[in-house]
Structure 1
Amino acid sequence: MNVHKNKGPTNVLWSGDQQSMPPEVMAFLAGEDVRLDRALFVYDIQGTRAHLIGLAEIGIISDAELNQFKQALEDLQQVYASGEFVLDQRFEDGHSAIEFFLTEQLGALGKKAHTGRSRNDQVLTCLRLFMQDQLDELSDQVSGVIEQLFSMAEANQNTLMPGYTHLQRAMPNTVAVWLLGLAESLLDDLEHLNGLKKLLNSSPLGTAAGFGVPLPLARETSAAAMGFARVQINPVSTQNSRGKYELMVLHGLSYLLTDVRRFAWDLSLYMTSEFDFVGLQSSHTTGSSIMPNKNNPDVVELMRASVAVVDGAVAQVQSLLSLPGGYQRDLQLSKEPLIKGMQATREVIGLLPGLLGAVVFKKDHMRTAISPEMMATDQALHKVGQGQSFREAYLDSKQDHELVITPEDSIKSRVSLGGAANLGLELMKSRLEKLTA
């Protein structure tokens, strides 16, 4: 197979025979597209194949030519995966790399591949496929974390700990309730990701530069070839979704990592000697370069900080969208924050199962930290049960030192749904099953 080697000028799709642009201008226009398109290249190949299937249906290429294209694209995917074909600075972007490869392999036939297509709907298509694929994998990761939290909660239903408001001791709680707080938050995030996937499940291919094309493109056929449920109909709306859909996805990632950040904050506090509720195995801590006594929760702290990467990506894309309708070259800069934000999120969620497995609960310390005044609410409600109004009972309980309620009694009485004695775990499991069905 004749694989294009690292030689010659940058290949572009729009210049014809004129390549007089200064290299520094060309480099500025191309930016980081080639490097970033390495994350999108397989999806660009997939979109090209679907477009060619549609062209064959309307007679622009023959079935025999379609088979030649399919084989060439399969070859490209294989040599790209093996490293024999490198997406590098020879090319303006991944789109030009595909077209030049097809032309090199198929000659004049390769020049038909871009018929009825613009780089505008081409990049929209591969970004849409990328986001769908990444969200599918992220959802699987989140589901696995939720299941692990369920298991940990079941094992710690009777592990007592103080509950806090304003960082002050408030009422007795259990580790199970605390863990399920993260689990249900992640269920919300998973439902939001499912909604995003439903929105993204539409094909922009065939809208070209935002005006349609003077060909009866088989858009539904191309959409089905990529697994999309529907087509995105209006070409102006489709072009205006560039950046908008990326922003929606990044917001979803931010919500997810915000929940992780809060849990990481709790872990950071509970690991301090002032709390001393939780330990971490050495697999997830580091030492100090100067203090031999230190055992630092660096993994937890970097997880806590990772939402800043995603929020930075949100700000970057949002600032790009102060644009009129239609495609503007500014939108080229939406790729990097999307890819960076997705990579940061996938990394954090991928590390969570190992972190959770490394957590050691110091049960005696947590139980000892539950002080008598934390049962005041239980005392007040006990008086309510004897006929006193809550406000009177509230005031009396501040001064009543005779009624003794233990932390264990307090936990056993927490029978409202979601409380320590009625976790609602089966309801949460049922919700997870529906979200992952």
Structure 2
Amino acid sequence: MNPKTLQTSNQSSQTTQTLDAVLWSAQENTLPPEVMAYLAGADVELDQALFLYDIQGTLAHLKGLAAIELISAADLSQFEAALAQLQQAFIKQEFVLDSRFEDGHSAIEFCLTEQLGELGKKAHTGRSRNDQVLTCLRLFMKDQMGGLKGEVVAVIDTLLNLAKDHTDTLMPGYTHLQRAMPTTVAVWLLGFAEGLLDDLQQLNALGELLDASPLGTAAGFGVPLPLARELTAAAMGLSRVQVNPVAAQNSRGKYELMVLHQLSYLMSDVRRFSWDLSLFMTQEFNFIGLKNTHTTGSSIMPNKNNPDVVEIMRASQAVVDGAAAQVHALLSLPSGYQRDLQLSKEPLIKGLKATRDTFVLLPGLLEALVFNTDIMQAAITPAMMATDQALAQVQQGQSFRDAYLASKDGQTPITPEQSIQARVSLGGAANLGLEILEERLEGLTQ
């Protein structure tokens, strides 16, 4: 196979339809072009993200066929060389996955058959497109979630380090968007760090669930061959197999929805943090500034400097939640594979992209924050120490309710610094528990 010959895109749609009919159907192809296009949808475009994983799954399947002697060791070597060549051609953009193919699966089999002739036709032995797409999606999700985990860890690291720099930086704390009690920038930042640690723990659990191979379940009924399923799982770096073929088919869409829900949890933390930043960056608050590396100007107002990055981060959960809603709506189905599930690819890929794009940018955004410390401290009014005053009286023997009523006038000799220094319970400003959070992070990344 010469990959460059495959790049030519002036082949007729009829050629592609005939090819796909040969690969995927025992019936004569009589579908009109518009029906074929409707059924294919955006698969060939979406499979750009899945193609390398599809090659990986195909190679594992062929190793399994060699293990049960359906192909020879020499055959396997030819397949390995052809797939390695296709992989490199795709990476170098010498092979283009385009509208000549229905999807990535048909493209792989076409390339193998073109290069290896009759041997290439053996690649699909004991395999259905159902478990083929399940397998490449599983590998894709596992890899994507592993990459996302590293990006989440980088954000947590940045938050922890930034908090260390601001353990004594005072700011007002808010409830109901009303000034409540004094706090510190460190306490505020660590709130998001610990929330992301919770998300990281869930990412680990989801990673274990995704670490299972559906390869070998075929169309949902298994095949009358002694497929080496544990061997092919190990060849793909997966620790176990999905045993039951119906369960494997029913996991299509379900696992994608789990991934999207996890992305939504992550993005909900980002959205809340972005909302805080949006408020604190207003001229009315003016607690935080943002370096011009992360702001944009106005098209008409020379005086404007807009935190567009923060606003897009705030909005991006809508993309993820919309994707989850789309997949959830698809899953009103009986057991087994239904063609409806083809439409789960696009929202999965879109939701992952929106989330990972956000987390890649977050460390740089955090490092671009400028805290207006004098303004934050000046916003702490005496009335905000009323709770401290009440509790000081409780320590002298007064009941809390009486002390509470006596402190309502907001007259208190307690300073913001004294208030902060008195927060000695774990998690408070004087006892942040940073080392506990760092130990938890280390445990979740081992």
After TM superposition, the score normalised by the length of structure 2 is 0.97
> Which aligned pairs between 1:25-40 and structure 2 lie closer than 5 A?
25-40=35-50
Q: Which residue in the other structure is 2:223 paired with?
A: 213
- 1:20 Cα deviation (Å)? 2.8
Cα distance in 1 for residues equivalent to 2:294 and 2:146: 27
- Alignment partner of 1:432 is 2:441: yes
> RMSD of the TM alignment (CA)?
0.9
Structure 2 residue corresponding to 1:84, chosen from 94, 108, 113 = 94
Distance 1:294 1:251 in 2: 36
In the TM superposition, what are the counterparts of 1:8-157 in structure 2 within 5 Å?
8=12, 9-10=15-16, 11-12=19-20, 13-16=23-26, 18-157=28-167
Could you tell me whether the CA contact under 8 Å between 2:383 and 2:410 is conserved in 1? no
Give the number of aligned pairs.
436
3-state secondary structure, aligned to 1:113: helix
Q: Does 1:296 align with 2:306?
A: yes
- 2:202: which partner in 1? 192
Partners of 2:200 and 2:250 in 1: how far apart?
A: 26
Unmatched 5+ stretches in structure 1: none
Taking the aligned partners of 1:164 and 1:400, their CA distance within structure 2 comes to 17
Match of 2:362 among 352, 367, 371: 352
Q: What are the ranges of 5 or more consecutive residues in structure 2 without an aligned counterpart?
A: none
Q: Which of 367, 378, 393 in structure 2 is aligned with 1:383? A: 393
Residue 250 of structure 1: how far off its partner (Å): 0.1
Q: Quick check: 413-422 or 1-10, which moved more? A: 1-10
Match among 193, 196, 204 for residue 214 of structure 2? 204
1:313 to 317, 320, 323: 323
* 1:258 aligns to 2:268 (yes or no): yes
Pairs within 5 Å for 1:334-349: 334-349=344-359
SS in 2 for 1:171: strand
Pairs within 5 Å for 1:149-188: 149-188=159-198
Question: Offset of 1:292 from its aligned partner?
Answer: 1.4
**Residue 432 of structure 2 corresponds to residue 423 of structure 1:** yes
Runs of 4+ in 1 over 6 A off after TM superposition: none
Shift of 1:18: 2.7
Please give the per-residue CA displacement for 1:385-437, whole angstroms capped at 9, x wherever unaligned. Answer: 00011111111111473x40000000000001000000000000000001000
- Shift of residue 17, structure 1, vs aligned partner: 7.4
Once residues 39 and 333 of structure 2 are traced to their aligned partners in structure 1, the CA distance between those partners, rounded to angstroms, is: 19
Following superposition, the deviation at residue 242 of structure 1 comes to 0.2
Q: Give CA-to-partner distance per residue, 1:30-78, whole Å, 9 cap, x none.
A: 0000000000000000000000000000010001100110010000001
SS at match of 2:370: strand
CA distance in 2, matches of 1:407, 1:399: 17
Aligned partner of 1:239 among 246, 249, 258: 249
Q: Secondary structure at the match of 2:440?
A: helix
After TM superposition, the structure 1 = structure 2 runs for residues 314-333 of structure 1, keeping only pairs within 5 Å, are 314-333=324-343
Give 1:92's aligned amino acid: E
Q: Helix, strand or coil for the counterpart of 2:297?
A: coil
Secondary structure of 2:310's aligned partner? helix
Question: How far is 1:16 from its partner?
Answer: 4.8
Q: TM-score, normalised by structure 1?
A: 0.99
